[in-house]
Amino acid sequence: MKILYLLFAVFLLLFQATSGSADPLFADTVECRSQGKFCRVGVCPPTFTATGTCHGGLMNCCSK
């Protein structure tokens, strides 16, 4: 019975996903983020302007 706790811990560590490990698939997303901008669904916040698109045109690329 005590080994179940150890197995659970091992499985938790094996299947843990690391944040930021997925590569962006879209070239426009890479270009937007490399310029220090960010992607957002819908309109950009009030002090930001949409300067392009992300995720194949589904999102806006927002910048100051």
Long-range contact pairs involving 25-30 (C-beta distance under 8 Å, separation at least 24): 26/54, 26/55, 26/56, 28/52, 28/53, 28/54, 28/55, 28/56, 28/57, 28/61, 29/54, 29/55, 29/59
pLDDT at 25 over 60: yes
**Residue ranges per structural domain of the chain:** 25-63
Q: What percent of the chain has pLDDT over 70?
A: 86
pLDDT at 50: 95
pLDDT at 17: 60
pLDDT at 9 over 60: yes
- Please give the single-letter amino acid code of residue 19: S
25-63 CATH choice from 1.20.58, 3.10.360, 3.40.1360, 3.90.1200: 3.10.360
pLDDT at 35 over 80: yes
Is residue 41 very low, low, confident or very high in pLDDT (cuts 50, 70, 90)?
Answer: very high
